[in-house]
C-alpha cells in the first residue's frame, strides 16, 4: 500500500511541476480525493502545498459514484 501512495505522491508532484512550467494554475477547490474499495487506508494527498479534500462521492457526466463504487 505504501508503494501505491508514494506513486500517487510522485504523480501529483509531476503534475504540479508541469503546470508550473506551462504557467498554469489548478483550481484546488475542484480537486478531491475519492477513496475507493474497502480497507482503504485513506491516505492524504497534497497539491500545490495544500491538502486535497476527501470526498465520499463525486458526480461526473450526471452519474454519481460513491466510495463503494455504487453509481446512480
Q: Report the predicted TM-score, pTM, of the whole model to 2 decimal places.
A: 0.60
pLDDT for residue 18 is more than 80: yes
φ and ψ of 70, to 5 deg: -85, 125
Is residue 6 within 8 Å of 37, Cβ to Cβ?
A: no
Looking at the predicted structure, is the pLDDT value of residue 3 above 80?
yes
Q: Could you write out the three-class secondary structure of 12-61?
A: HHHHHHHHHHCCCCCCHHHCEEECCCCCCCCCCCEECCEECEEECEEEEC
Amino acid at each position: 500500500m505504501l508503494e501505491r501512495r508514494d506513486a500517487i505522491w510522485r504523480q501529483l508532484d509531476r503534475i504540479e511541476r508541469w503546470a508550473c512550467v506551462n504557467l498554469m494554475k489548478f483550481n484546488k477547490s475542484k480537486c478531491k480525493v475519492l477513496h475507493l474499495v474497502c480497507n482503504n487506508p485513506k491516505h492524504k494527498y497534497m497539491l500545490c502545498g495544500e491538502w486535497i479534500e476527501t470526498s465520499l462521492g463525486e458526480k461526473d457526466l450526471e452519474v454519481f459514484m460513491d466510495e463503494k463504487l455504487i453509481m446512480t
